[in-house]
């Protein structure tokens, strides 16, 4: 997009009993793309992809509840709320047209399940390095629930940093592919000052609280099988999909087979945050996917 269209603007809208911060890039009249961030992240994470888009788009990226400038609950979160939040957001911004969805990690998890539950509301889905979590054993349920109960009175905490520069250095230590400029941007825009003046990621610490029930991949796969829209899966060369299924090709094939209209694309030289490491490749894949999908 043009440089002046790559400067974001934000608005707050009511979503049920809370408020969502929603970030926009591009002209309001352009075709809509919804970009949904992942766990322990927030909407500015898509800045580099937006800058790499060649066409004119109106990109809408919410901060999920408990992230960024959206309402923080200060208590455990219920994952199903994200599906309801997405439903309300799409009614607000795209009431009459099926939506183009792009989701990274947790955002892809939410978008894919939603696309199966509401197939008529999604015209296309791009999943960034997500194909479900490892299946938890059923016998984990009592232990997991007990741990959840025992830690309710012990709020989790996030590591804090002296300033944005220190957080930026930490981001580059964790991901050496980040340039100094990109790390500084993420530290500044995806960080939040504490009352003591230190910097933490702009995420409610309660997101680190363990889930009370095990992950059930069968539920996710049932939703994937119900998706009618075309799907593009971008797999990071050194990301979570590659790591989780490196030794289990049969399980990888089983999950991929759930999607009736899937195209997989592998993105080289990147980790799980491929939208940071290879934003040009990701942007090109997104634009090509929606342009081709909508022509036929």
Residue 295, pLDDT score: 65
pLDDT of residue 196: 93
SS (HEC) of the chain:
CCHHHHCCEEEEEEECCEEEEEEEECCCCCCEEEEECCCCCCHHHHHHHHHHCCCCCEEEEECCCCECCCCCCCCCCCCHHHHHHHHHHHHHHCCCCCEEEEEECHHHHHHHHHHHHCHHHEEEEEEECCCCCCCCCHHHHHHHHHHHHHCCCCCCCCCCECCHHHHHHHHHHHCCCCCHHHHHHHHHHCEEECCCCCEEECECHHHHCCCCCCCCHHHHHHHHHCCCCCEEEEEEEECHHHHHCCCCHHHHHHHHCCCCCEEEEEEEEEECCHHHHCHHHHHHHHHHHHHHHHHC
pLDDT for position 139: 82
What are the backbone angles phi and psi of residue 177, rounded to the nearest 5°?
A: -70, -20
Domains of the chain with bracketed CATH: 3-135+216-295 (3.40.50.1820)
What does the block give as tokens for 113? 């399940």
d(CA 199, CA 231): 37
Does the predicted TM-score (pTM) go above 0.95? yes
Q: Which pair of tokens denotes residue 73?
A: 């609950």
In tens digits, the chain (296 residues) has pLDDT values of: 888 889 999 999 999 999 999 999 999 999 999 999 999 999 999 999 999 999 999 999 999 999 999 999 999 999 999 999 999 999 999 999 999 999 999 999 999 999 999 999 999 999 999 999 998 877 889 999 999 999 999 889 999 999 999 999 999 999 999 999 999 999 999 999 999 999 999 999 999 998 998 899 999 999 999 999 999 999 999 999 999 999 999 999 999 999 999 999 999 999 999 999 999 999 999 999 998 767 65
What pLDDT does 296 receive?
55
């Amino acid at each position: 997009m043009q440089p002046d269209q790559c400067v974001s603007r934000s608005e707050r809208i009511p979503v049920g009993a809370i408020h969502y911060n929603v970030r926009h890039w591009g002209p309001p009249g352009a075709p809509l793309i919804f970009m949904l961030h992942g766990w322990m992240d927030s909407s500015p994470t898509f800045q580099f992809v937006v800058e790499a888009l060649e066409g004119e788009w109106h990109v809408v990226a919410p901060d999920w509840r408990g992230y960024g400038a959206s309402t923080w609950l200060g208590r455990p979160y219920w994952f199903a709320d994200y599906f309801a939040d997405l439903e309300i957001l799409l009614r607000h911004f795209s009431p009459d047209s099926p939506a183009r969805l792009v989701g990274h990690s947790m955002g892809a998890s939410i978008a894919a399940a939603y696309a199966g539950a509401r197939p008529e509301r999604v015209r296309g889905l791009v999943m960034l390095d997500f194909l479900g979590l490892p299946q938890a054993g059923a016998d984990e349920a009592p232990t997991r629930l007990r741990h959840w109960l025992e830690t309710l009175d012990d709020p989790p905490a996030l590591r804090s940093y002296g300033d944005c520069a220190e957080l930026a250095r930490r981001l580059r230590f964790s991901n050496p592919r980040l340039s100094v400029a990109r790390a500084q941007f993420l530290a500044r825009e995806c960080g939040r000052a504490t009352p003591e003046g230190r910097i933490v990621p702009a995420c409610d610490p309660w997101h680190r609280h363990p889930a009370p029930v095990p992950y059930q991949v069968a539920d996710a796969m049932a939703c994937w099988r119900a998706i009618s829209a075309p799907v593009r899966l971008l797999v990071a060369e050194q990301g979570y999909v590659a790591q989780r299924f490196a030794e289990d090709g049969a399980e990888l094939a089983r999950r991929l087979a759930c999607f009736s209209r899937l195209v997989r694309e592998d993105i080289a030289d990147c980790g799980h945050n491929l939208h940071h490491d290879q934003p040009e490749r990701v942007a090109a894949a997104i634009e090509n996917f929606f342009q081709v999908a909508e022509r036929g």
